[in-house]
A and B are shown apart, each in its own frame.
Chain A
Amino acid sequence: MTNDEIRAFLEEAIKDNSVMLFMKGTPDQPACGFSMRTSAALNSLGVKYAALDILPDPRIRQELSAISEWPTIPQLFVDGKLVGGCDIVTEMYETGELADLLGVEQPDDEPEAPVHGGAGDQQPASSPPLGIENRLS
Chain B
Amino acid sequence: MPTADELKTRIEEAIPGAQAQVEDLTGGGDHFRAEVVSERFDGLSRIDQHKLIYDVFGDEVGGPIHALSLKTSTPGGTP
To the question of whether A and B form a pair in one complex, the answer is: yes
Residues of chain A touching chain B, judged by Cβ–Cβ distance below 8 Å, are 34, 61, 65, 69-72, 82-88, 91-92
A82 to B71, CA, bound (A): 17
| B residues 4-55 touching A (CB-CB < 8 Å) | 46-47, 50-51, 54
Residue of B nearest to A81 (CB): B47
* Number of chain B residues whose Cβ lies closer than 8 Å to a Cβ of chain A: 13
In the bound complex, residues from chain A placing their C-beta under 8 Å from that of B51 are 69-70
Q: How far is the CB of B49 from chain A (nearest CB, A)?
A: 9
Contact (Cβ within 8 A) B46 A34: no
Q: How far is the CB of A57 from chain B (nearest CB, A)?
A: 16
Q: Contacts A65-B62, A72-B61; is A91 near B47 (CB within 8 Å)?
A: no
Q: Contacts A71-B54, A72-B67, A72-B68; is A83 near B47 (CB within 8 Å)?
A: yes
Q: How far is the CB of B79 from chain A (nearest CB, A)?
A: 11
Partner of B62, one of A69, A72, A83: A72
In the bound complex, residues from chain A placing their C-beta under 8 Å from that of B59 are 71
Contact (Cβ within 8 A) A71 B61: yes
Can you sample 18 A-B contacts with CB below 8 Å? A34-B67, A65-B62, A70-B51, A71-B54, A71-B59, A71-B61, A72-B61, A72-B67, A82-B47, A83-B47, A84-B46, A85-B50, A87-B50, A87-B69, A88-B47, A88-B50, A91-B46, A91-B71
Contact (Cβ within 8 A) A84 B47: yes
A136 to B7, CA, bound (A): 38
A87 to B61, CA, bound (A): 15
In the bound complex, residues from chain B placing their C-beta under 8 Å from that of A34 are 67, 69
In the bound complex, residues from chain B placing their C-beta under 8 Å from that of A92 are 46
Q: How far is the CB of A12 from chain B (nearest CB, A)?
A: 22
The listed residue with most B CB atoms (<10 A of its CB), out of A70, A71, A84, A92, is: A71
Q: How far is the CB of B2 from chain A (nearest CB, A)?
A: 15
Contact (Cβ within 8 A) A87 B47: no
Q: Contacts A70-B54, A72-B61, A72-B62; is A88 near B46 (CB within 8 Å)?
A: yes
Q: How far is the CB of B35 from chain A (nearest CB, A)?
A: 11
